[in-house]
A = this chain, B = another copy of it.
Amino acid sequence: MSSKGRQLNLNLFIYPGGHHEAGWRYKDSSPERILDIKYYQALAQRAEAAKFDALFFADGPALTENIRYASRPRLEPLTWISAMAAVTERIGFIATASTTYNQPYNFARFFASIDHLSNGRAGWNIVTTGDAGAAQNFGLDQHPTHADRYDRAGEFVDVVTKLWDSWEDDALVGDRQSGIFADDQKIHPINHIGKYHRVRGPLTLPRSPQGRPVYVQAGSSEDGKSFASRYAEAIFTAHQTIANAQEFYSDIKARVKAVGRNPDQVKVLPGISPFIGSTEAEAKALYDEFNELIQPEYSLDQLRRLLGIDLSGHDLDGPFPRELIRIEGEVGVSSRFHVVLDIVDREKPTIRQLLHRLAGARGHWVEKGTPEQIADKIQLWFENGAADGFNIMPPYLTGGFDIFVDEVVPILRKRGLFRLDYEGTTLREHFGLDRPESQYSLAQSAIA
């Protein structure tokens, strides 16, 4: 019961219709409220009451999914989390945003503002955008390659980091008597001239409570892991088995160490989508009920995106045609591609079985069981070098989250694995991450 042992970090990952692709069709879901801010504010408050670390939001700057069958429209994450931060006090908010399809100066302003208005509860899930369709919304002839996107991402993060550091922490003075509002010696132009960006700075607003948002990263490709080792403070990752998760965990911690960073300052948080029943049979029946709601046309379209192969016209109950998958090319580089390939090779599924496997949470770990069984698995991963915590991905909302909070969280608490209350106020504090000093203050101290 001690709160002193190593503790889980738990995020609620919000997909508006739930993480199961047919979640919005489930009888207890609320598709009519997918754009209703009050619905999400209530969810945020519920997650805060449960002492979760953060809410996590996906994003992509294009509408390219098969929207006919999918509950995919969502509010824009930065405005969305601003409206949720306004009605909460402690829980963090992690928003996904692209390094390929944003302008660093505007972007840095948005996130600094959110970190201010939330009093230090902002996290940035750094993505390069895998969806090639985005290019055409931004005037590009073609989507940059995977390697190029990661190259851009490194420069983008460097630029916005400089902008977030451009006001030293004590630059704001506000002294009525002298009339000095800000100490302009402590506000620095960044004068960045790089391969992709030229940005003078400084930022329009002072350094934020956390210094910078928490840097979260979600790609597990080679480029992704290399990027994560340099920048990430939390890593969202997809694994189907504890063995894979352990391999990833030890690999990433070693890479972090190799570049001279402290592995404890990088939290590894796999996704888990739990189907919970009061018996194991009930949980499995629930899972089957969701799969009955799947629409194969949509699922095949998703599979085409993940693997680059079109299986429409094939017998869904025939064996999955492994030989059609090509590892070369842009699709084959992504980390999710390899997760799917691993399922295919281990489980030898029919096409329909594979569609069901992926419908749960797009390649993330789907677990079916009683609250006790779910808690056991979480504990197993947590205590055996596979995870520092989890992104909880409810198959539907809000019930799929409610049952986790009501039934699983108390068990984790009883076992001393999850906090009884917040100990800090910022997301960095929840995650046990240091607050970085401004590189300009550091430069000053070095001179002094």
C-alpha spacing A206/B32, complex, angstroms: 12
With A101-B106, A176-B24 as known contacts, state yes or no: A75 contacts B31, CB within 8 Å.
Answer: no
**Which of A135-143, A223-231, A242-250, A383-391 is the interface stretch?**
A135-143
* Bitwise interface map of A from 61 to 100 toward B, beta carbon under 8 Å scored 1, else 0: 1110001111111111011101111110000000000000
User: In the complex, are the beta carbons of A293 and B79 less than 8 A apart?
Assistant: no
User: In the complex, are the beta carbons of A113 and B176 less than 8 A apart?
Assistant: no
C-alpha spacing A430/B31, complex, angstroms: 30
A184: chain B residues within 8 A (beta carbon): 67-68
C-alpha spacing A87/B67, complex, angstroms: 32
**Identical copies in the complex:** 2
A69: chain B residues within 8 A (beta carbon): 179-181
A78: chain B residues within 8 A (beta carbon): 78-79, 110
A14: chain B residues within 8 A (beta carbon): none
C-alpha spacing A101/B75, complex, angstroms: 22
Size bracket of the A interface = 35 or more
Q: Which of B76, B84, B102, B114 meets A113, CB within 8 Å?
A: B76
Residues of chain A in range 186-217 having any CB-CB distance to chain B below 8 Å: 187, 197-206
User: In the complex, are the beta carbons of B24 and A63 less than 8 A apart?
Assistant: no
Residue from A61, A116, A133, A136 whose CB has the most chain B CB atoms within 10 Å: A116
A205: chain B residues within 8 A (beta carbon): 35, 73-76
Which 10 pairs between the two chains have the least Cβ-Cβ distance? A82-B82, A76-B113, A86-B86, A136-B200, A31-B174, A83-B86, A37-B117, A139-B198, A105-B137, A79-B82
Q: List 22 A-B contacts (CB under 8 A).
A: A25-B176, A60-B204, A61-B105, A62-B204, A63-B201, A67-B181, A69-B180, A71-B181, A74-B204, A74-B205, A75-B117, A76-B110, A76-B113, A76-B204, A78-B78, A79-B114, A82-B82, A82-B83, A86-B87, A105-B137, A137-B201, A179-B293
Given contacts A68-B184, A79-B117, 13 further A-B contacts (CB under 8 A): A34-B174, A61-B106, A63-B201, A68-B180, A70-B181, A73-B206, A75-B117, A78-B110, A83-B83, A83-B85, A105-B138, A106-B106, A136-B198
